[in-house]
Amino acid sequence: MTLERWQKASEWPLIGAALIFLVAYSIQVIANLSDAEGFWADAVVWASWAVFAVDYAARLWLAPQRGRWFVMNLHELAILALPALRPLRLLRLVLLLKLIHTRAGNALRGKILSYVFGAAAILVYCGALAALDAEQNDPQANIKTFGDALWWALATITTVGYGDHYPVTLVGRLAAAGLMVAGIAVLGVVTASIASWLVETVSTEAAEKSAEETAAALEPLEALEERIEVLTRQVELLTAVLARTTDGARAEPQEDRTS
């Protein structure tokens, strides 16, 4: 089995594991369960972790150059091994946007905007979850409920940043950094899509005008055609006159002319 085949075959199971992880992790974080209370949720989180670990091992095994693959994918090992990076496993859900991809039709800008808003929604949810997980048990933190976490994530990704809630732990701030960068990207894509649409609408008019001008410049071509027709008729006439003049002319040239 090759690496490509494995990745193709494992894509949907991994998204499924990420979804299950999302649900269990959401319950665990939002209910702020202790280890005892959240036994079942914890078990599901570990089960989904096992799926990711198996996938990692399988890909490492199948890689043509294992050493190189290991170095290039160190971040995946970190996400698997470090509990603090757990929320990053949710990023695999961005692959769900492939569904949007298929449904949104052909228009490039429509696809891009769907992607960006889909990714923004996933990021706001996962960023809020990650920040809440990191913050809620910190005595100095001010993000204590999932509602506050979502509100904070929204104010961050739109770069509004009221400052009524803000992360104080390292993991919470890393989640914030991700949301800030995503916010800049969202702003960029929205603006760029509008700009591109405006430029296209205006330049289409310009292109039509330019096409008309080219057509006008090509008008002599038709005049040329007519002129050559006149010339042809004239030569035909000459031939006819000549044929009449030379009484001994034979028929072959007439036949040749049709070839």
Whole-number minimum distance, CB 76 to a second copy, in Å? 22
202 lies in the site for a second copy, by CB under 8 A: yes
177 lies in the site for a second copy, by CB under 8 A: yes
Stretch that binds a second copy, among 9-17, 34-42, 86-94, 225-233 (CB under 8 A): 225-233
With CA atoms as reference, report the closest residue to 153 among 33, 79, 21, 162. 162
Residues 141-170 that bind a second copy (CB under 8 A): 147, 151, 154-156, 158-164, 166, 168, 170
Whole-number minimum distance, CB 185 to a second copy, in Å? 7
Surface-to-core class of residue 123, CB atoms within 10 Å of its CB (0-12 exposed, 13-18 middle, 19+ buried): buried
248 lies in the site for a second copy, by CB under 8 A: yes
Among 67, 105, 251, 257, binds a second copy (CB under 8 A): 257
What is the DSSP track for the chain?
--HHHHHHHHHHHHHHHHHHHHHHHHHHHHTT--TTTTHHHHHHHHHHHHHHHHHHHHHHHH-SSHHHHHHHTHHHHHHHH-GGGGGGGGGGGGGGHHHHHHHS-S-HHHHHHHHHHHHHHHHHHHHHHHHHHHHTT-TT----SHHHHHHHHHHHHTT---SSS---SHHHHHHHHHHHHHHHHHHHHHHHHHHHHHHHHHHHHHHHHHHHHHHHHTHHHHHHHHHHHHHHHHHHHHHHHHHHH-TT--SHHHHHHH-
Q: Between 18 and 141, name the residue whose CB sits nearer to a second copy.
A: 141
Q: Between 4 and 205, name the residue whose CB sits nearer to a second copy.
A: 205
Whole-number minimum distance, CB 230 to a second copy, in Å? 6
Stretch that binds a second copy, among 44-52, 54-62, 63-71, 241-249 (CB under 8 A): 241-249
140 lies in the site for a second copy, by CB under 8 A: no
Q: Between 34 and 258, name the residue whose CB sits nearer to a second copy.
A: 258
Are 41 and 27 in contact by the 8 Å Cβ rule? The answer is yes
Q: Between 56 and 151, name the residue whose CB sits nearer to a second copy.
A: 151
* Tokens coding 161: 């940043």
Q: Between 23 and 184, name the residue whose CB sits nearer to a second copy.
A: 184
Q: Between 2 and 204, name the residue whose CB sits nearer to a second copy.
A: 204
Q: Between 4 and 226, name the residue whose CB sits nearer to a second copy.
A: 226
50 lies in the site for a second copy, by CB under 8 A: no
Binding mask 94-133 for a second copy (x = CB under 8 A): --------------xx--x---------------------
